[in-house]
């Protein structure tokens, strides 16, 4: 089974950037900086972040019983 995209426990707001960074195996700070650039470059990053936060599932390995 392939990799799946989940929200991360390494989060600042909802874990979206951390999850994307884990999926692509890169530093979460780079993803966060790119996301800020999208937000400042027209504001479309805010809507994309909200949609991603709603659509992405929490990582089942991070869920505490």
The number of folded domains in the chain is 1
Task: Using the predicted structure, report yes or no on whether residue 43 has a pLDDT greater than 60.
Answer: yes
Res. 30 pLDDT band, cuts 50 70 90 = very high
Residue 3 lies in a domain: no
Task: Using the predicted structure, report yes or no on whether residue 65 has a pLDDT greater than 90.
Answer: no
Residue 7 lies in a domain: no
pLDDT at res. 10: 74
Residue-range definition of the domain harbouring residue 37? 26-55
pLDDT at res. 1: 61
Residue 39 lies in a domain: yes
Residue 2 lies in a domain: no
CA 57 distance to own-chain centroid? 10
Contact criterion met (CB below 8 Å) for 5 and 23: yes
Q: How far is CA 4 from CA 1, 35, 36, 39, 42, in A?
A: 9, 20, 24, 25, 29
């Amino acid at each position: 089974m392939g990799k799946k995209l989940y929200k991360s426990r390494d989060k600042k707001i909802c874990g979206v950037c951390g999850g994307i960074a884990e999926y692509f195996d890169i530093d979460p700070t780079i993803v966060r900086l790119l996301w800020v650039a999208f937000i400042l470059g027209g504001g479309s990053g805010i809507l994309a972040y909200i949609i991603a936060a709603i659509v992405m599932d929490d990582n089942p390995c991070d869920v505490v019983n």
